[in-house]
Structure 1
Amino acid sequence: MPKLDQFPLFSARLPELAVRALPLVREVGSITKTAHRLGVSQSAVSQSIAELEKRLGIKVLIRGAQPVQLTEEGVLLSQYAQSVVIAEEKALAQIDDLRHNRGGRVRIGSSGPSASTRLLPSLMQRFSQLYPGIALELREAQDHDIIAALRRGEVDVAVVPGAKEESEFETIPLAYDRLVGIVSSEKAEPGSLKAADFQNQPFIMTKGGSEPLVRKWFNQSDIEPRVDHSIQQITSILALVKAGLAHSIIAELALPRGMAGVRVLPLDPPAPRSLYLTRLPTTPANTASSTFWTFSEYEIYRDT
């Protein structure tokens, strides 16, 4: 059987009607019936096939045969045409699913446990109940990495603190948080904690998204904390604090519920922290991400 690249001028665009007609001609054995199935005239089909033969320098129909039959070249082209039709139907079906929120994927960036454990799960759960065909993918990283991923289009939306300060983003206020001090229950004293209270104590610096805000809080008092440990995992920080080995400062929403052996104390001065659902103000990568944004905006403002 000849190969397509053996045909002269094959790089030229094939007549669309002929491409659509050949599989039907092969199936029904009639130009007239093919034209009827396609909703066009018989002459239109015949002219398009003649144009195809002229362009490629071949014959695709065995003239005079009843029912109409295809030449070997015609069979090859009909197989190609059938694959094009199948691919087109599949693509259109997928597009229809996306358009009607029956498919698609939303990539969600999270800058830490405040969003990943306390804010996003319930929002994602409610969205999935309403749009079960849309896949949700959560990616967690530090603030600057998530913002960079958002700029590069590697995530569709992201939850980051302080995003409203960046004019390049669209934002929805998701939650208001604050930094808090955490100390062992055995060493806790009532009242709030000042920067000086940490100065002569072993201190754990969080390596999560709150680190810049923690350092900024100390800088306000011109105090440098005694950083004995640098830890990213909240569970590890709490284990050391519970054992009385060090104090720390982390975001309140990042704390798990029901912590035995650990006391949470406010900071003086306070260190507020706002979290925003964020996206770039460009055309969304897909309908699913637009649907998630609209849904989230409705849900967030409904709850406030």
Structure 2
Amino acid sequence: MKLHQLRALVCIHETGSLQDASQVLHLTQSALSRSMKELESQLGVTLLVRSNKGMSLTEHGQRVLGHARQALESVRRARQEIEDMKGLTVSEITLGVTPVTALLSPLQQTLLHFQQTYPNAALKVLEMRPAQLLQHLRDGLLDFALTSQVPSHAVGLDWQPLCRIPGVVAVRKGHPLQHVRSLRLFQEAQWISVDSVADTLSQFNQLFASSALGRPRRVFECTAMNLAIKMLLNSDSVMVISQGALGPGLVGLGDMVKHLHPVELEESVPDYSVNIVCVNRSYLTRAAGLLFTQLQSGFAVEHSTSNAL
């Protein structure tokens, strides 16, 4: 496999057609088609199929796509690393966070300090759900991430634990069940899950699994955190959130979160496990490696301070 073939495969997938991909890559359609046929011949499988909707990847093509993105991103970072060493370019760092980790003060403080120390670094922070973060890491679209969930299969990823955040079950103040202490009595309530209901590792599913209870029937899946909180405040819904979300830090909500009430359950609510994760520390550019280390130090200082108090 050659880089130009992998680049062509990614571009065809993203544009959906040979014609559009050829324009993006400044190649003729015949040259692009020939490149794909050579790659398919080398691998002995069909990677692309044509339909009335354009070009799409086969199952084999989908598997190659992930590796292609990783390879292209590795090459881009290698070039950036050399250019940085020569003082010719500005470093680019892409960090992934979850809605839970985005609220943590060590993250905010470290990012501000890093920007002040390295004003020429181009820093990008993307917020998404834990499962999305892992896929973006594997596809090479993130340098590293701060996630609030540990997957059952972390093969091929470098994990470093940072801290744990208590989880709470929350309702609006004045909710008819706000003083109920048994999780069993909440099973018929309307729940909101900010993760996929199918995600068995989410705090929502872990809450009921750890209590040996079946999952509630009425679950509204809403991955937009601010919308989920607003719906929680304006209905009789129930939701698992981090303890930090009960503070005033949620963007766009202000004092509204003061109207949330943490339910004092007899059952244990799962903690959020905060981890910093990348594919391989040695693959990070110098700038990304510095930010990675500073974040580790920032959380270590916060943890030691909290313990002292």
Q: TM-score, normalised by structure 1?
A: 0.59
Say what the alpha-carbon RMSD is for the aligned residues. 3.0
Q: Identity over the aligned pairs, expressed in percent?
A: 16
Which residue of 152, 163, 167 maps to 1:179? 167
- Measured against aligned partners, the alpha-carbon deviations of 1:156-215 in whole angstroms (never above 9, x if no partner) come to 110113448635433333331132111121126676744313112222222379972211
| 1:287 shift after superposition | 1.4
* 8 Å contact kept, 1:179–1:270: yes
Give the partner amino acid of 1:139: L
How many residues of Structure 1 are paired with residues of Structure 2 in the alignment? 210
Distance 2:113 2:238 in 1: 37
Q: Which residue of 2 aligns with 1:284?
A: 283
Contact 2:95 2:125 in 1 (8 A): yes
Deviates more, 1:198-207 or 1:168-177: 168-177
Paired amino acid for 1:283 = S
Shift in alpha-carbon separation, 1:300–1:283, aligned structure 2, 3 A: same
The corresponding residue for 1:217 is 207
Stretches of structure 2 that go unaligned for 5 or more consecutive residues are 1-80, 249-254, 304-309
- For structure 1, the 5+ residue unaligned runs are 1-90
1:48 alignment counterpart = none
Equivalent positions of 1:83-122 (< 5 A) are 94-97=84-87, 103-110=90-97, 112-119=98-105, 120-122=107-109
> Residues 192 and 302 from structure 1, CA distance in 2 versus in 1: closer, same or farther, beyond 3 angstroms?
farther
Equivalent residue, structure 2, for 1:265: 263
Q: 1:132 — aligned with what?
A: 119
The partner residue of 1:201 within 158, 165, 189 is 189
Q: Which structure's CA Rg is the greater one?
A: 1
The TM-score normalised by the length of structure 2 is 0.59
Mapped partners of 2:148, 2:116: distance in 1: 27
Greater mean alpha carbon deviation, residues 114-123 or residues 270-279: 114-123
CA–CA distance in structure 2, aligned partners of residues 164 and 303 of structure 1: 25
In 2: Cα distance, 1:115 partner to 1:222 partner: 28
Matches of 2:159 and 2:82, distance apart in 1: 33
Report the alpha carbon displacement of residue 266 of structure 1 after superposing the two structures with TM: 4.5
Alignment partner, residue 73 of structure 1: none
**CA distance in 2 between partners of 1:279 and 1:93 (Å):** 22
